[in-house]
Amino acid sequence: MSDTPPKKLSDEDQARVEQYLNSGVNRVDRRPFRPWLLLLVILVVLTLLSLLSLLIARAKGVV
C-alpha cells in the first residue's frame, strides 16, 4: 500500500488552482513582522492595566 492520500482534485482542477494562487490576485503587501515591537506593546498594555488596577484598589481602600 502506498502512503499517499487519494487525490481530491483532478489534475486539471489542481492546475487551475495553482494558476490562481500564483497569479497574485490574492496577494497583499504587508510590513515585516516585528516581534520586539509586539513584545513592547504587550508590556506597555500590561503595565498600564496593572497601574490602573492598583489605582482602583487604593481608591477603594483595599491596598
Per residue in 2-44, pLDDT (tens digit) is 677 777 889 999 999 899 888 887 788 889 999 999 999 999 9
CA distances from 16 to 4, 24, 28, 30 (A): 22, 14, 21, 26
Q: Give the ranges where 23-62 is alpha helix by DSSP (H).
A: 35-60
Identify whether the C-beta of residue 13 lies closer than 8 Å to the C-beta of residue 21: no
Instruction: For the chain, give every domain's residue range.
Output: 34-63
Q: Extract long-range pairs of 29-34: CB within 8 Å, 24+ residues apart.
A: none
> Of residues 49 and 25, which shows the higher confidence score?
49
The confidence score (pLDDT) of residue 1 equals 52
> Does the predicted TM-score (pTM) go above 0.85?
no
pLDDT at 54: 97
